Amino acid sequence: MGELYGSIEGGGTKFVCTVASGPHDIRDELRYPTTAPDETIGRAIAFFEKQQKKHGRLSALGIGSFGPIDVDPDSPTWGYVTSTPKAGWSNTDFVGRIRARFDIPIAWDTDVNAAALGEHVWGAAKGLDTFIYITVGTGFGGGGMVRGKLMHGLVHPEMGHIALPHDHDTDPYPGRCPFHGDCLEGMAAGPAISERWGVSGKELPPDHEAWVLEAEYLALGLRTFVCTLSPQRIIMGGGVMQVESLFPLVRARLQKLLNGYVQHPSLIDNIDNYVVPPALGKQAGMLGGVALAQRIASSG
């Protein structure tokens, strides 16, 4: 029980709006597909107005959004979805539309940073201060914490857009990122799997060669993140990671690619606890919004 918070998990495919005090006290939830900004944000506003009538004023609202987004509090476009290729959403003042209707603190971050915070408070990153949260689904996103602070910098990390070695003989698929072609997202997110193999990942059996190639790309990405960010743990969620055969393949491949260079027991004997699914499962993003709200409410 306790104070009630609102959460928006604003994904490129679907939105999840929730009112909760924490993982064990979820009062209400609304899920719907992401359409045009007016309609999509409008449905969230209507949901929270109804919730406030029912439960009283919410203490704060946390929004984890697909991106790229502006997270610089000093920027005039803070709270905007910025250069997204998603139709109709480029330069959308997401927070402004919410703030116009709700006089409560609003926390704003990337969907992956929100999920990372949720995992930090209640899940697989409890007690860790430097870790990453990755989602592999419609896109490839990455966020996390460094020394207990959510990762922001010039903007926010775009881990899905790193370059990968691409052997065109083994995999002639050109990649589908509109900006870079064969970057990690362009090669390894869900739509690339569907396009490369002609069927959706859901229809490919767990022992299909597609997953060996997928694990190779994911492990190449993780190797870069291990070497550059030195995370204490890597949490991997999203639709593609629901394929159970992927985790063992990715762990084994990551060990092989690191080739014993980065010396730590986590990477050697304890890799099963190093590359892990979110402990909050599919609720990581939604509870991440609750965690963002809780944090901003308690910061006064």
Q: Which residues contact 30 (CB under 8 A, 6 or more apart)?
A: 15, 16, 17, 18, 43, 47
Q: Which residues contact 180 (CB under 8 A, 6 or more apart)?
A: 161, 163, 186
Could you tell me which residues are beta bridge partners of residue 20? 5, 26
Give the residue with the Cβ less far from Zn ion, 153 or 178.
Answer: 178
CB of 214 to Zn ion, least distance (A): 17
Which residue, among 65, 53, 68, has the nearest Cα to 97 in the 3D structure?
65
Give the residue with the Cβ less far from Zn ion, 116 or 177.
Answer: 177
Give the residue with the Cβ less far from Zn ion, 132 or 187.
Answer: 187
Q: How far is CA 85 from CA 59, 67, 102, 223, in A?
A: 33, 9, 28, 28
CB of 12 to Zn ion, least distance (A): 14
Q: Are strands 140-146 and 92-93 parallel, antiparallel or unpaired?
A: unpaired
Q: Contact letters (x/-) for Zn ion, 81-120, by CB under 5 A?
A: ----------------------------------------
Residue ranges in 177-196 that form contacts with Zn ion under rule CB under 5 A? 177, 179-180, 183
| 143 phi-psi bin (left φ>0, alpha ψ -120 to 50, beta other) | beta
Query: By CB under 5 A, how many residues form the interface with Zn ion?
Result: 5
| Contact in structure between 17 and 8 (CB atoms under 8 Å) | yes
Give the residue with the Cβ less far from Zn ion, 192 or 276.
Answer: 192
| Contact in structure between 130 and 31 (CB atoms under 8 Å) | no
Q: Contact letters (x/-) for Zn ion, 126-165, by CB under 5 A?
A: -----------------------------------x----
CB of 139 to Zn ion, least distance (A): 9
Give the residue with the Cβ less far from Zn ion, 225 or 274.
Answer: 225
Q: Using the rule CB under 5 A, is 241 a contact of Zn ion?
A: no
Q: Which residues of the shown chain bind Zn ion in the complex (CB under 5 A)?
A: 161, 177, 179-180, 183
